[in-house]
Amino acid sequence: MARPLCASCGKRPASYLRTASGKPLCLYCLERSLARSIKRSLRGLGVLERGSTIAILPSSLNPYGLQVTHRLLEPSAKSAGARLETVAPSGCIASTRAPVDERLIGEYEALDVIRLERVYAAEAARLAGASAALLPVDATTLSLLGVEALLGGRLDYIIDSARTAFTVRGVKVAYSLSSVEAEAVAAYAALRGLEPCTPPWRARFSFSYVFKSVTRGRGPELLYGGLASARQLSEALLKRATGSCLSCGAPGYEGLCPTCSRLGLHSGRLLSRQ
C-alpha cells in the first residue's frame, strides 16, 4: 500500500503522522515545522544574539533532545551570528565535556530533576564560556510536571511547568522544546537516526499515569489545555511571589527552594573535579 503524500508540501511521501495536527508529514516538512516551532519559542528571550555562545545541555526528561535541538537550531544560530556548543557528561557526543559529581547520580522526583538540571545547565554553560543554556524540555513533559505538582500537593512547583526561561546565577536557561510534543521529537530522532544523550540521573514521575490515561487517543487538546491551565495558575502564584531561589532561579523563595536545599545544590559544585 502506497504511503500518503505529505499534507504540507503535497510532493513527497509522508513519513510520520503528527498527532498534534493530524497531518501526515514527510521528513523535510516535519523538520521544517519543528525548527520553526523552536525558533518561535526562543524568539524574544534574547538567546540568539550576535556573537553569543549558547550551550545545549542534555536532559533526562528527553533523551534525544540535545541532538534534536542542535540539529534544528543550528541554521538559525548561524544566521543570527551565534555559536552553539553542545555540553554533556561522559558517554555523549558533545563538543565540551562537563562530567557530573558522582554524589548526584541516582533517581529523583521529576519536579526535583527539572531544578537540578537548571543548576547543572548554568554551571556547565559557564564551563563552556556560554552566556545562555538550552535544556531540551518538551511540551509533553511540561504538562506532566504540572500534573505532578497539582496531584502531589507541591503547588509552588507549578511554575516549573509554566515558565520556559529562568535566570540561574547570571545565566539564562531556556527550554528549547517547550512548544513541541515529545512524540514528534522521538519520531524525528528515529527518522534521522540520532543518538540519545542523558545525564547520569533519572526522573521519576508519580502521577503521569493519570495524565496518560485521560489523554490517550484524544489528540493534543488536553496536552496544550494542561499547559494553559498551569500557566494561569502560575501567573496567579507569581503575583504573590517575592524573591527567587539563589540556586535554581525558581520564583517565590527567599534563599533556597526545598529541592536545592535538600540536594545540596547551593554550593554550585555539580561538576566533577576530575
pLDDT tens digits along 52-104: 899 999 999 999 999 999 999 999 999 989 999 999 887 787 788 888 888 88
In contact, 83 and 54? CB cutoff 8 Å: yes
Residue 165 covered by a domain: yes
The mean pLDDT of 9-14, rounded to a whole number, is 93
Residue 116 covered by a domain: yes
Task: Using alpha carbons, list the distances in angstroms from residue 226 to 65, 158, 222, 232.
Answer: 22, 11, 6, 10
Residue 2 covered by a domain: no
Residue 36 covered by a domain: yes
Residue 94 covered by a domain: yes
- CA dist 271 and 104 (Å) reads 9
**Is 0.85 topped by the overall pTM?**
yes
Closest Cα to residue 114, out of 231, 259, 11?
A: 259
What is the per-residue pLDDT across 95-134, written as a single tens digit (0 to 9) for each? 888 888 888 889 999 999 999 999 999 999 998 999 999 9
Residue 262 covered by a domain: no
pLDDT of residue 226: 56
84 forms beta bridges with 54
Residue 250 covered by a domain: no
Residue 44 covered by a domain: yes
pLDDT of residue 101: 83
pLDDT of residue 1: 60
Which CATH number covers residue 144? 3.40.50.620
In this predicted structure, the answer to whether residue 184 has a pLDDT above a threshold of 80 is yes
More confident residue, 47 or 85: 85
Give the range of the structural domain holding residue 203, as residue numbers without chain letter.
32-239
Count of structural domains within the chain: 1
The mean pLDDT of 181-193, rounded to a whole number, is 94
